[in-house]
Amino acid sequence: MKKIALFPGSFDPLTAGHVDLIERGAPLFDELIIGVFVNTSKVNFFTGGEKVELITEALAHVPNVRVVAQETELTVTAAKKMGAQFLLRGIRSVKDYEYERDIMEMNHHLDPTLETVFLLANAKYSYISSSMLKEILHFGGDVKAYLPPNIYQAIVKKRDAHES
Ligand code: ADP
């Protein structure tokens, strides 16, 4: 049976930390699907469509990855529809661990057949979050090193268009 994993997230924006996790996670499965979820509790930098396009471009070098927009439905429901038997998530810190463990337990309750696979964040990126980068970008700080080049360019373009 084909091993399929779903990596769900809001990826607003996709960071170098996410890319690192995806590059390390993809070889573990036959297919890794990046599910771009709409997180209603967060302010979105890009629309769902923009994110799918930009993330697909940023991950073009990873052969077995596919990026899909996620409807507002449960992760376990989306995984089932995609034929995924695994969820992939990252852990940056003890704080992430506690949050991720609760999500894992709840997902396990909702669908016991779905296994969550965790990778520890690369130490180089373990302190980065999309929300922190957004905050710094908002105040004009330089976060180029933490973003895939096409995503950085898209952000600058959006910021310039907004300012003019
Ligand atoms: P969500 O809003 O669903 O948490 P995120 O895009 O913030 O979506 O995160 C998706 C997943 O990526 C989470 O498992 C998170 O722990 C992981 N992640 C986020 N930033 C990093 C990073 N810098 N390095 C490794 N994993 C990360």
What CA–CA distance (Å, rounded) separates 104 from 26?
A: 20
What CA–CA distance (Å, rounded) separates 138 from 157?
A: 13
Nearest CA to ligand 1 atom 18: 90
In this predicted structure, the answer to whether residue 37 has a pLDDT above a threshold of 80 is yes
* Contact (Cβ atoms closer than 8 angstroms) between residue 151 and residue 50: no
Residue 164 has a pLDDT of 66
Is residue 129 part of an annotated ligand binding site?
yes
Is residue 93 part of an annotated ligand binding site?
no
CATH code, 138:
3.40.50.620
Q: Could you tell me the distance, in angstroms and rounded to a whole number, from the CA of residue 122 to the centre of ligand 1?
A: 12
> What does 41-92 look like in DSSP terms, one character per residue?
TS--SS-HHHHHHHHHHHTTT-TTEEEEE--SS-HHHHHHHHT--EEEEEE-
Q: Which atom of ligand 1 is nearest to the CA of 100?
A: 14
pTM: 0.94
Is 101 a catalytic site residue?
no
Whether cis (ω within 30° of 0) applies to the bond prior to 149 is no
Q: 74: alpha, beta or left, given left = phi > 0 and alpha = psi -120 to 50?
A: beta
Is 42 a catalytic site residue?
yes
Nearest CA to ligand 1 atom 12: 90
In this predicted structure, the answer to whether residue 49 has a pLDDT above a threshold of 80 is yes
Q: Which atom of ligand 1 is nearest to the CA of 131?
A: 7
Q: Could you tell me the distance, in angstroms and rounded to a whole number, from the CA of residue 164 to the centre of ligand 1?
A: 32
Is residue 57 part of an annotated ligand binding site?
no
Which pLDDT tens digit goes with each residue over 125-155? 999 999 999 999 888 899 999 999 999 999 9
Is 61 a catalytic site residue?
no
Q: How many domains would you assign to the chain?
A: 1
Q: Could you tell me the distance, in angstroms and rounded to a whole number, from the CA of residue 100 to the centre of ligand 1?
A: 10
* Contact (Cβ atoms closer than 8 angstroms) between residue 31 and residue 66: yes
User: Strands 4-9, 31-36: parallel, antiparallel or unpaired by DSSP?
Assistant: parallel
Is residue 41 part of an annotated ligand binding site?
no
Q: pLDDT tier at 43 (50, 70, 90 boundaries)?
A: low
What range does the domain containing 143 cover? Answer: 4-163
